[in-house]
Structure formats: structure tokens, C-alpha cells
Amino acid sequence: YRLNSLSDFSIESLEKLGAIRMLTYTLRNDARDKIRLGEYLDIATKHGIPENVAMIILKQLHATGQFFYFEKHELFSNYVILKPASIQAEAFDALSVDIGVKQLEKQKDTYERITNELRPLIEKKSELDLKAEKSARMWVSAGMGALTCQGIVLAAGTWGEYGWDVIEPVTYFSGFTVVLGSFLYFIISRRDYDYGTVWEQIVTSRRRAIYNRNDFDYLRYLTLMQEAKDLRVEIEDVCMEVVGDVPQSVERAFAF
């Protein structure tokens, strides 16, 4: 038989024709996993089936699962898959890569949006943090100066006109004031009183004051940093699925 159209036949009736049977027989007995589309059309032509009819048959064979032909997929549109089971893993890997690339393209837009807003905030925060640390040093230096002055006054009173009998109770009360102040600090901050903790508290306090004075949106900064962290996790997961590793370019991109 020589077929020129399917207008007068259904696929069920065509299956009865020898040309269709010979075509499917030839494809099933081919040892390869896949062949090029052009080669499939040549085989169909040898069996008396024109190309337009061969394409319709191929789509029907794809629908039944006998052979696969992914017409709209750029990696497989030029191939007819003869052994679906053996090539399934390869197809899924390719589809996974395709999906992963599309996900990365979408995440790239999100990354650019986050970084365009976050980088100026990071630069401003670094500048304000330096000011806060400088201000904290000034406060600590002032405290050191006050303690030095206290020591000078006590020494002058002890070896000057008052004597130790008068100054001794003053030193007791001064020491008690320090103990009382450290306990009050613990009650307010719920943190132990030591030099490191006090320094951190002073720096944090100065940062808040300087952020407010310079209209720095610290909450927005924290939100964007969390979004960037979540986005990095998503991109790393996609890279691990697609290529099995995280490129250094991803790590550099999130090195804020």
C-alpha cells in the first residue's frame, strides 16, 4: 500500500496495513536506543509511507508509549527514542537539567533585585558601624577617665588633709556601688557583668542610636539578608541536582 493521507483512515485501521506493521517491526528490532528523526522518516519512506503520514503515526506511537518523540523539547526534538525504558534515566536527567536552568534563570532575577537593594545597605551599615565603634571607644575612655579621677581624689584625700580614717568608709561605699551597679546591670540586661559583655552592650546601644539618627532601616537590612540566605540555599540545591556540585561563582556571588 502507498498512503498519501489519513483522511479516510483511523489509526486502528492503519495498524492493519502492512506498511505500518513493517515500520513498527523495523523500529522494534533496531538495536539502538534512539535514532534521528530524519532516519525514521527515511525508514518510513522505504515502507511506502510519506513523511506527513509518518509524523502522524509517530505521534500516535508516542501516545501509546511504544516509542517516544518529544517534538517540543529542544534536546530530543531531533530524535525518535526506540527503547523508552533504557533511555528513561537519560531523558529524566536532561529534563532535570532543563528545568534546573529555567529555575536558575528565575532566581537570577530575584538575586539581582535583592543585591541591588542590599549592597547599598551593607555599605551604609559598615560605615555606621565604624562610627558606632568609635563612639563606644569614647564612652569607654570617658569611663576610664572617671575611674582615674576617682583614684586621684581618693589618694589625695588619704595622704592629704583627710587621712585614711575618713577616706576608708568612702572606699567601702565606692566598692559597694560597683557591686550594686553590676547587679542592677544583670537585672536589666539578663547578662553577666564583665568587660566583654559591657563592651558589646555599649556598641549595640551606640549602633541603635546612630542607625536612628541616620534613618538606616535595620529591619529591612535583616529581611534582605534572610532572603539572600534562603535564595542561596535554593540555588545550591538546584546546582547539586543539575551538576552535582556548587560552583565557586555562587559562593562569590553571596560573599556580602
Q: What average pLDDT does range 234-253 have in this prediction?
A: 66
Q: What average pLDDT does range 122-133 have in this prediction?
A: 93
Residue 227 near residue 114, CB atoms below 8 Å: yes
pTM of the model: 0.50
pLDDT beyond 80 at 111: yes
Q: How confident is the model at residue 6 (pLDDT cuts 50, 70, 90)?
A: very low
Longest Cα–Cα distance of the chain, Å, equals 132
Please state, in angstroms and rounded to a whole number, the distance separating the CA atoms of residues 146 and 167. 18
Give pLDDT, residue 8. 45
Q: How confident is the model at residue 131 (pLDDT cuts 50, 70, 90)?
A: very high
Return mean pLDDT, the chain: 78
Give pLDDT, residue 49. 85
Q: In Å, what is the CA distance from 168 to each residue of 29, 44, 159, 219?
A: 109, 113, 12, 51
Q: How confident is the model at residue 12 (pLDDT cuts 50, 70, 90)?
A: very low
Q: What average pLDDT does range 95-123 have in this prediction?
A: 73
pLDDT beyond 80 at 240: no
Q: In Å, what is the CA distance from 25 to each residue of 15, 16, 43, 82?
A: 12, 13, 11, 11
pLDDT beyond 60 at 233: yes
Q: Which three cell numbers stand for residue 143?
A: 569611663
Give pLDDT, residue 196. 76
- pLDDT tens for residues 164-211? 888 888 888 888 887 787 778 778 777 776 677 778 888 888 999 999
Residue 46 near residue 18, CB atoms below 8 Å: no
More confident call, 96 vs 136: 136
Number of other residues whose CB lies within 10 A of the CB of residue 212: 10
